[in-house]
Amino acid sequence: MGNPTGFMKVDRALPDDRDPALRLVDWDEVHEHMDTDDIRKQASRCMDCGVPFCQSAKSEYAPAVAGCPVNNVIPEWNDLIYRDRWKDALDLLHKTNNFPEFTGRVCPAPCEGACVLGINADPVTIKHHEVSIIDRGFDEGWVVAVPPLSRSGKTVAVIGSGPSGLAAAAQLNKAGHTVTVYERADRVGGLLMYGIPNMKLQKEVVQRRVDLLTEEGVQFITSIEVGKDILAEQIEKDFDAVVLCVGATVPRDLQAPGRELNGIHFAMDFLRANTKSLLDSVHQDGNFINAEGKHVIVIGGGDTGTDCVGTSLRHKCESVTQLEIMPQPPASRQSTNPWPQWPKRLLIDYGQEESIAVQGKDPRDYLVQTTKIESDGNGNVKAVHTVDIEWERTPEGQMIPKEVAGSEQVHPADIVLLAMGFMGPEGGLVEQFGLDKDPRSNIAAQYDDFSTSKPGVFAAGDGRRGQSLIVWAIDEGRRAAREVDKYLMGKSYLP
């Protein structure tokens, strides 16, 4: 590397986040920018470690063992940043990742969890370097449309325009196939557009990439739901191959008395409506679930729960509380969670940071189970009743929750948001294509093959693997595209 002792001389640093008091009055991205020279110093921390665990991950070990699913050649572009060769770094980054502007913003960075420096020090700021490369590429005008030189005469339908669908479409288009992407929403992007709030991913960033793909020849058809507006049979008739990138969109529900009350919403319904109303009218149309002046209870953790917290605070809610059934993670990596496993430690994300600034405390309550939801007498939510729990192992080895006597609590609530994860693709479309499912109700298709039980129909992303990370969705879309190319042409030169 350019500076073999950089990791000994430079401490890990990231750009500051905008002040919570200021960022809560808008929907702009949370993060500030870092000076170029400081980014180069951070890049110098990347060691000549011999075996860069950061740049590889195996599907069968995810998410326990960390590493980059798209196999970004991280040490090489860190070195190029340090040497001030930004365009070369961009070219190298695009060889493995179609959308570094997405992963550089919203990926949880499993690469950093596997950084060799992280064994006994703070890992390299890989995620920030990735987004810095691509943002500079757009600023300098280096990122331009590159249509294929010729067409194969083959047609492919991609169902769903989330990260896996966009990645599959981009790669198949590069191979010269004519690609049509169907999206049931009114805007392209799937999870990227309506599932992730603006403060994490500005929609101009998504649309910028969609416009480039359109210029390269990908056709996008919005407001059409395959399986309803157009039948699966017709899609199979009109195209030489089909790639299902429909996501895992069935939310886990709450089994508790009072679930039927008004004011209880799935988290994604809350987030989706908020972003659509923001984009359509800057919330002037009122077509969203408004938390202003309300007591909000978020049931569930993870990124979706955090997004509900941040969105509710921007609505100027009266209070927001996040209930988690799992124990609070430790402050640092434990001996039972060694490198290069994903580090299971307590993180303060943007939503919790904002809650601390506004409410004076972290909104998360751990080891809490909802027992019932109380009505106000008119069919609306009034309060959420909870009890503390302890996890116990049964003789069969199964972990089960046990209530702690005398720990009952009542939380005032006007809105309850369910952010407990997702179970698989929505019903109807998979059945219409006549595809087999796996035991978890996902589309049955093997990783690195991606062919379903019906010839010519492939599946990738969360609809195949279950709820996962955006970087795994991009990886699956790219790999599925290669298999589709082989199916159509007998061989493939796609990576």
Task: Tell me which residue of 344, 263, 341 sits closest to 301, measured CA to CA.
Answer: 344
Return the number of other C-beta atoms located less than 10 Å from residue 244's C-beta: 32
Does residue 482 surpass a pLDDT of 90?
Answer: yes
User: Residues 244, 433: contact at Cβ < 8 Å?
Assistant: yes
Residue where a domain terminates, one of 418, 440, 458: 418
Residue where a domain terminates, one of 140, 173, 190: 140
At 263, the amino acid letter reads G
Q: Could you tell me if 309 and 389 lie in one domain?
A: yes
Q: How far apart are CA 459 and CA 445, in angstroms?
A: 7
More confident residue, 426 or 319: 319
pLDDT of residue 255: 94
In a domain, 186, yes or no: yes
Residue numbers of the domain that contains 81: 6-140
CATH of the domain at 73: 1.10.1060.10
pLDDT of residue 3: 86
In a domain, 14, yes or no: yes
**How big is the CA angle at 188 (ends 226 and 265), to the nearest 5 degrees?**
80
Does residue 331 surpass a pLDDT of 90?
Answer: yes
pLDDT of residue 61: 79
Average pLDDT over residues 115-129: 95
- Tens of pLDDT, residues 85-121: 999 999 999 999 999 999 999 999 999 999 999 999 9
Average pLDDT, the chain: 96
Q: Could you tell me if 179 and 322 lie in one domain?
A: no
Return the number of other C-beta atoms located less than 10 Å from residue 257's C-beta: 13
Q: Could you tell me if 348 and 406 lie in one domain?
A: yes
**Widest pairwise Cα distance in the chain:** 71
In a domain, 258, yes or no: no
Q: Could you tell me if 208 and 283 lie in one domain?
A: no
Q: Is this prediction's pTM over 0.85?
A: yes
Q: Could you tell me if 371 and 399 lie in one domain?
A: yes
Confidence of residue 4 (pLDDT cuts 50, 70, 90): confident
pLDDT of residue 65: 81
In a domain, 16, yes or no: yes
Structural domains counted in the chain: 3
- Percentage with pLDDT > 90 across the chain: 93
Confidence of residue 48 (pLDDT cuts 50, 70, 90): confident
pLDDT of residue 60: 78
Q: Could you tell me if 237 and 365 lie in one domain?
A: no
What the block records as the tokens of 302 is 């993870």
In a domain, 229, yes or no: yes
CATH of the domain at 323: 3.50.50.60
pLDDT of residue 427: 77
Confidence of residue 231 (pLDDT cuts 50, 70, 90): very high
pLDDT of residue 1: 67
Q: How far apart are CA 201 and CA 90, in angstroms?
A: 20
Confidence of residue 64 (pLDDT cuts 50, 70, 90): confident
User: Residues 454, 243: contact at Cβ < 8 Å?
Assistant: no
